[in-house]
Amino acid sequence: MNGFFTFLFSVWLGYVLFLYLTHPEKKKHRVPHFKIWRIELMPNIRIHSRSKIYHIHHWVILTLVTALTLINYEGFQYLTFIKGIAIGGIIQGLRYPDRFQFRHHNSLNQNLNKIKNNKK
C-alpha cells in the first residue's frame, strides 16, 4: 500500500512539475534556455531547419523513459517514483490540443514571436 501512495504522489508531482516547466503561458520565461546550433534543448526540445521547426514533445520522451523502466525491475521503490513522475508528465502533455503536431513552419513561429514582443 505504501508503494501505491508513493506512485500517486509521484504522478501528481510529475504533472505539476511539467505544467510549470512546459506550459506556454506559465512561468516558462524563468526556465533557462539552452540551445546548441539548431537544436533547442530547454525549455522545449526543438530542432530548427531552414523552413520547419520539429518539436519533440516531452510526453514522447517520457513514454520512452517509462518503457525503459518497465524493462528494469531492480530498485522497485525508486522505479515506482520515476514511473509516476513520467506518467504525470505524459498526462499533462497529452492535454494540449497540439499534442500530435510535431512539425511547424519556421516563418509562422517567427511572426508569432514578433506579435508577442510587440504586445509587451
Per-residue pLDDT tens for 58-108? 888 888 888 877 776 665 556 788 888 989 988 988 887 776 777 777 765
Average pLDDT over residues 18-37: 72
pLDDT at 118 over 60: no
pLDDT at 50 over 70: yes
How many domains does one find in the chain? 1
- Residue 93 makes CB contacts below 8 A (sequence gap 6+) with 18, 22, 57, 58, 59, 62, 99
pLDDT at 11: 93
Higher pLDDT, 26 or 44: 44
Could you tell me if 58 and 42 are in contact, meaning their C-beta atoms sit under 8 angstroms apart? no
Query: Global pTM?
Result: 0.67
pLDDT at 109 over 50: no
Per-residue cell: 104? 511547424
Cis peptide before 24 (omega within 30 of 0): no
Average pLDDT over residues 35-49: 80
Domain hosting residue 90, numbered range: 2-119
Confidence category of residue 57, pLDDT binned at 50, 70, 90 = confident
